[in-house]
A and B are shown apart, each in its own frame.
Chain A
Amino acid sequence: MTKVDVGGILKDYAGAGRDALIPILQKVQQVEGYLSRESVARVGEHLGLPASKVYGVATFYNQFRFQPQGRFHIQLCRGTACHVKGSAGILEAVKRELKLKPGETTRDGLFSLEVVACIGACGLAPVMCVNGEFHAKLTPDSVRKILDSYRGKASADVHSK
């Protein structure tokens, strides 16, 4: 993985106070894809905040993640319409199939899972979005097939190389 220049980001926030914490974390995540331990510590040092506090603030918000995203990033909708249409079961199926929890990345780096509130596709509920591709009217069975198709894509890439 490439080292992210947190120092470069912090340069734009010279002399900033603790109120700049969330914007800085957002910026770091935008560049780094997640919040690494090193960057959490660096940001804390810059703002004069202990790492425990930075971590506490960051874990309060769903938007921050602490593991790099997988090759296929799953955004699973748990909004109201999806909930009514059974997204809880879909989430369980994904968790079971990939053996991971929201915010985590599989050990092979293939999949990461994020639970989102509503992605504005209520007509297609329950829905999930993988690297920008929408998958509609999911069932636990169809989810497994969809995940398999991404696995297939990954191994096809390996063979073609």
Chain B
Amino acid sequence: MVTIEVNHRTVEAQPGEMLLDTLKRAGIKVPTLCHMDELFPSGACRMCVVEVEGQRGLVPSCAFPVTAGMKVQTHSPRVLRARKTIVELLLSNHPDDCLFCVRSGSCQLQSLAEELGVRERRFTGAKNDDKMDLSSPSIVRDPAKCILCGRCVRVCEEIQGVSAIDFVGRGCHTQVTTAFNDGLNVSSCINCGQCIMVCPTGALREQSHLKLVVDALNDPDMTVVVQHAPAVSVTVAEEFGLKPGIDMAGTLTAALRALGFDRVFDTSFSADLTIMEEASEFVQRVKTGGRLPMMTSCSPGWIKFVEQFFPDFIENLSTCKSPQQMLGAIIKTHFAQRAGLDPSRIFSVAIMPCTAKKFEAGRPEMTQSGNPDIDAVLTTREVARLIHMRGIDLASLEPDSADTPFGERSSAGKLFGASGGVMEAAIRTAYWLITGREMDELKVQAVRGAKGVKEARLNVDGLDVGVAVVSGLANARRLLEQIRAGRNDLHFIEVMTCPGGCIAGGGQPYQTQPEQVRARMRALYKIDRDAALRTSHANKEVQRLYEEFLGKPLGEKSHHLLHTHYAPREVVK
């Protein structure tokens, strides 16, 4: 520990750490635009400049190492003037349409302009007239609103290992765009939406399905059915100003009813169903010498990633559809039949933490006789907008439970929301399938937590099973390369596209920080700790679905409705 002086106050610092980290710990808020926690500083935007005694100019605190005894001014008139000028210059070519912008109220450029007291347009630059890219089913790019901070480029390259976008051109013609300035839909973009999560402005946003949903709700001839994903109930509260880590499943269900949805189902139910199929598939692969390691298939960004970058691993992917698509298929078949409804008069909505789910819902193989299994996907942010729009006061709602026959869930299904959750749920059920009894301790600590790579060795009745859990596709890429190079000690791998899993998905509240992810994770673990029903195979409604309709896991009906196939995908990569 060394001490430095900040604004005439003594502050403790780790020698060698970046000044910005010291300041943050000391509770001094220095604004940033290009900075990303846990990544190497880029020092590009200069918003975080401070005065350091003895330095000729202002220095970027994000990239300036601490030395003992240094004297720092973080909010001197000179510093504030510099920051204000930077914002004024960024605004000089920025569209004046804040009132119409999806990020109005959550835009970092807007709040910096407010904090720094920008009240007039001091510089007028030529506006850029770059066209919007509406080609992607998941993500809309509006380059006119881009301030070139580069966070999307870095998350796409360094966290996701995809690099669909990069800086193109030079000087005032620089743009963040795809190779050859093509549409995102033909690029290697996996639709994860992590770029949206880190974008400070409205330059990136989800392809909204709100209008589709509102129109369906207003259509008296439509039965509008909704499902909400395990990771949404522990994050949506943040969209209403509550602290991270509050589970609002009951209130969300009640709110969806108040919005006019005819049936509200829980995707955690079909997560349990997924586990029945996936654990059975795993056991079958182990017993019959099928392709191992088996890899999970719940995360649609990951699926596209394999199809385009690692087609040689397609056989390793579980053939199980994701919980969203399983429930979608069951709703338009079994549920329609049970309720005496024409499947073409059912509008099936999924509330997801994810933008890639919009892409997944549109995959051509996800249909039954011409009807898409899922008609619209709303992100956590969109459902919050819908609740605001319809003036629903959450505080006045009594928490409610989801509808039968797809309302019951085990906490194993709920764990799907966090990285490691699918693995933990699958282990519980696979153990039961192999041994015929429950695990003594259901909690599998080794696969829990927010780390990007987790590995464990399990002993199932003498059978040694190697499992790995990765999130953030750059981690997945490294693991696949190890396997390509001959690593063969793993049997089962869970991959989640987004770092930390769906609780940090691209459809979640903007600018999710690591401490929020951890709080959401704890909320899921608490649900599991307190639950009476903790294994997917013990879910009565899942059992009944097999009795009444599906037959048995991996049976013919399951094969037809709950499983899918993948194919290599040609993209610009």
Contact = CB atoms under 8 A, between A and B. Distances in A.
A53 B572 contact: no
A59 B163 contact: no
A30 to B, nearest CB: 21
Nearest to A45: B573
A66 B166 contact: no
B391 to A, nearest CB: 43
A60 B573 contact: no
B168 A56 contact: yes
A138 B60 CA distance: 48
Contacts of B572: 37, 41, 51
Interface string B184-213: 000110000000000000000000000000
A142 interface: no
Contacts of A56: 166-168
Contacts of B329: none
A44 B170 CA distance: 20
A66 B180 contact: yes
B163 to A, nearest CB: 4
Nearest to A51: B179
A53 B165 CA distance: 8
Contacts of B168: 52, 55-56, 59
B175 to A, nearest CB: 9
Nearest to A61: B170
Interface in A33-80: 37, 40-41, 44, 50-56, 59-61, 66
Contacts of B179: 40-41, 50-52, 54-55
Contacts of B170: 59-61
Contact-residue bracket for chain A: 10 to 19
A25 to B, nearest CB: 14
Contact of B178 (A40, A52, A60): A52
A50 B573 contact: yes
Contacts of B162: 50
Given A40-B179, A66-B180, A52 B163 contact: yes
Given A37-B180, A55-B179, A50 B163 contact: yes
B188 A60 contact: no
Contact of B163 (A40, A41, A53, A66): A53
Contact of A59 (B164, B169, B188): B169
A55 B176 CA distance: 11
Secondary structure class of chain B's binding surface, majority of residues: mixed
A55 B166 CA distance: 8
Nearest to A57: B166
Nearest to B188: A50
Contacts of A55: 166, 168, 179-180
Contacts of A37: 180, 572
Interface string A115-148: 0000000000000000000000000000000000
Given A37-B180, A40-B179, A66-B180, A52 B164 contact: yes
Contacts of A41: 179, 572-573
A56 B153 CA distance: 11
Contacts of A52: 163-166, 168, 178-179, 187-188
B166 to A, nearest CB: 4
A56 B169 CA distance: 6
A51 B169 contact: no
A27 to B, nearest CB: 20
A60 B169 contact: yes
Nearest to A56: B166
Nearest to B572: A51
Nearest to B165: A52
A50 B167 CA distance: 12
A116 B166 CA distance: 25
A104 B404 CA distance: 62
A51 B166 CA distance: 9
Between B166, B169, B187, the greatest number of chain A beta carbons within 10 A of the residue's beta carbon is seen for B166
Contacts of A61: 170
A60 B169 CA distance: 5
Between B157, B164, B178, B572, the greatest number of chain A beta carbons within 10 A of the residue's beta carbon is seen for B572
Between B162, B168, B169, the greatest number of chain A beta carbons within 10 A of the residue's beta carbon is seen for B168
Interface in B391-421: none
A144 B170 CA distance: 30
A54 B168 CA distance: 9
A66 B187 CA distance: 18
A41 B570 CA distance: 12
A51 B162 CA distance: 11
Between A41, A54, A55, A56, the greatest number of chain B beta carbons within 10 A of the residue's beta carbon is seen for A56
A66 B180 CA distance: 9
Nearest to B187: A52
Contacts of B187: 52
Contacts of A51: 179-180, 188, 572-573
A56 B148 CA distance: 14
A120 to B, nearest CB: 23
Given A40-B179, A41-B572, A53 B169 contact: no
B169 A50 contact: no
B180 A50 contact: no
B183 to A, nearest CB: 13
B78 to A, nearest CB: 33
A50 B162 CA distance: 8
B154 to A, nearest CB: 12
B535 to A, nearest CB: 42
A59 B165 CA distance: 14
B495 to A, nearest CB: 20
Contacts of A60: 169-170
Interface string A18-40: 00000000000000000001001
A60 B178 CA distance: 14
Given A40-B179, A51-B179, 10 more contacts: A37-B572, A41-B179, A41-B572, A50-B162, A51-B180, A52-B163, A52-B168, A53-B163, A55-B168, A61-B170
17 contacts: A40-B179, A40-B180, A41-B573, A50-B163, A50-B166, A51-B180, A51-B573, A52-B163, A52-B165, A52-B168, A52-B179, A52-B188, A53-B166, A55-B179, A56-B167, A56-B168, A61-B170
Interface of A: 37, 40-41, 44, 50-56, 59-61, 66
The 5 A-B residue pairs with the shortest CB-CB distance in the complex, in nearest-first order: A50-B163, A51-B179, A56-B166, A52-B166, A55-B179
